[in-house]
Structure 1
């Protein structure tokens, strides 16, 4: 813990955790990070690592590994990485499941009865992107649009409301359609990319219920909602285009501690 040459952002997380103890001092620890999440792919790799590392660091001191603690610690790390992050990545990584997240508000777990036998296919375009640059472009375009920009934000809120209703009634097809609409809106705001468009269109053409970019856009990854029986075909078509593909479960649990 002496000095800071690599993973300096994690030190910020550890400092936050140490403030939970009366002494407020950092304690010695050796952490080994083993992550398979691609870096710079719009999949929240930095937040996932920060959450896991924060939980491990808290364990060393015998602190309770509560989602609130590790999420807030990881957010301190994320601020150093991204500058002005929304906080959604560290929140979802910490709490898991389905959450309604709005910046500055307490995350709300969602009632979720299931969507049938569907999976999420994650499509990594391999195009590196900058979250800060994408956010800046989006904000600038929104400002230039003036009143129309505010209307587009209202449309985005409407998509969220409809998505919540689709989740609650278990309507996978409806949720897929809303993903398509959301992607179209993001594309119009300039944060898509030719490789993302190729990925999204290919996923839809091969049988996905819906697909959209994820993360900040301008590269990185897309996600597709796919019926499980069609997932192998969708994945094969995407790999034929030279895209990296992963299959992910819905509603996975958040941070947890396993004692070996």
Structure 2
């Protein structure tokens, strides 16, 4: 068998050492030592494009994290550098941060400070360097990991009192931090995402999936230990880079919001599956400007929320091996009704199933990124080989793989 590319997570010691070294390279040895913080990427088990529709989703935090070394300043100057970006040091004033005023990765960092300051919290300028082992553009929430790492860093150095202690995280305070991260991404970075990614990075619990109700931001921690069942969650980074600021994501969100207005509801969460959905689809067929599209989008959202509830029920009952068909159905809905899949994602899902996966689906916003497969622990290598071979046959860029375990939150 040929070798496949594995995406390894750094140890905490390795990540902190790397980012401290990068900080010293960027700012020199003068001045106080920076502190270090980190936050995880996430993979969503099920519940895609439901967050901005007031629905349910079920992510886990990954062991792959983004690290930040940060030192507060007495003025409002923000100086930033990234080990992933070759453009050197960037500088801006906190007072100058506003929608449309900041571009690129710095928007995600400065945007968090801006959002916290907008709430009247005592945030000032800072020097910071970031480094990360969360794959960029893989649909594993590298942006939310960056935002969350900065959020807990600012919370700590400016004594905001929101994150709580590592041993006892303050969920109410972390909800506030997550909301600030969402504002940063929506208003400063210009990506109209929902709040799932930021909540997963800030509010998850090790060994658990995070059942997030996006209607009221409440959460429940659902035990998720596949090792106990001899299973593994294989993540396939298709290397088809996705982006959330190219208009496709925003277009789907706009269609859902228009459909909710047509149906006279605050969000699509109010549309019940079964007869309620049938009635709603009839109404959209009669009243929408683009009825065929509206029907497909709404059908996905409503049935996906129902799939989240069904999968959680199986996990609660210890019937983990029965979850596969729900993953399969989710992918079909995302591919056909929501139209956010792509060749690479479909190839990864189909090859994983053919190689013995119990179920597989794309994960994340779509248009590229990653897929997940529920597989027997002793068949991980077999499935990886099958997916890699399927990509090679089609002349696609070779994928990369990681086995996801439910990790802890930003701290």
TM range (shorter): 0.7 to 0.9
Following the alignment from structure 2 to structure 1, what is the Cα–Cα distance between the partners of residues 345 and 327?
Answer: 14
Is the 8 Å Cα contact of residues 51 and 73 (structure 1) preserved in structure 2? no
Deviates more, 1:209-218 or 1:121-130: 121-130
Number of the residue aligned with 1:118: 231
- Residue 321 of structure 2 is aligned to residue 224 of structure 1: no
Which of 304, 316, 333 is residue 156 of structure 1 equivalent to?
Answer: 304
- Residue 187 of structure 2 is aligned to residue 74 of structure 1: no
Following the alignment from structure 2 to structure 1, what is the Cα–Cα distance between the partners of residues 230 and 313?
Answer: 18
**Map 1:127-138 → 2, pairs under 5 A:** 127-131=240-244, 132-137=247-252
- CA drift of 1:129 comes to 2.5
Following the alignment from structure 1 to structure 2, what is the Cα–Cα distance between the partners of residues 78 and 138?
Answer: 15
Following the alignment from structure 1 to structure 2, what is the Cα–Cα distance between the partners of residues 41 and 113?
Answer: 23
Following the alignment from structure 2 to structure 1, what is the Cα–Cα distance between the partners of residues 296 and 184?
Answer: 35
- CA drift of 1:184 comes to 0.6
Q: 1:113 and 1:127, CA in 2 relative to 1: closer, same or farther beyond 3 A?
A: closer
Deviates more, 1:129-138 or 1:85-94: 129-138
Length-normalised TM-score, structure 2: 0.56
Aligned-partner SS, 1:40: coil
In our comparison, the structure showing a higher alpha carbon Rg is 2
Number of the residue aligned with 1:100: 211
Aligned residue pairs, count: 253
The Cα RMSD (Å) is 2.6
1:78-115 residue CA offsets vs partner (Å, 9 max, x unmatched): 21335321110001111113222233412321342744
Following the alignment from structure 1 to structure 2, what is the Cα–Cα distance between the partners of residues 113 and 199?
Answer: 23
Is the 8 Å Cα contact of residues 255 and 297 (structure 2) preserved in structure 1? no
Aligned-partner SS, 2:129: coil
Number of the residue aligned with 1:14: 113
Is the 8 Å Cα contact of residues 222 and 312 (structure 2) preserved in structure 1? no
Number of the residue aligned with 2:384: 235
Note the residue ranges of structure 2 that are not aligned, 5 or more in a row.
1-77, 79-90, 93-101, 164-169, 260-289, 392-397
Following the alignment from structure 1 to structure 2, what is the Cα–Cα distance between the partners of residues 85 and 137?
Answer: 11
Following the alignment from structure 1 to structure 2, what is the Cα–Cα distance between the partners of residues 30 and 206?
Answer: 49
Which of 128, 133, 153 is residue 56 of structure 1 equivalent to?
Answer: 153
Q: 1:198 and 1:135, CA in 2 relative to 1: closer, same or farther beyond 3 A?
A: farther
Number of the residue aligned with 1:182: 330
Number of the residue aligned with 1:144: 291
Following the alignment from structure 2 to structure 1, what is the Cα–Cα distance between the partners of residues 243 and 291?
Answer: 21
Length-normalised TM-score, structure 1: 0.85
Number of the residue aligned with 2:355: 206
- CA drift of 1:73 comes to 2.2
Note the residue ranges of structure 1 that are not aligned, 5 or more in a row.
none
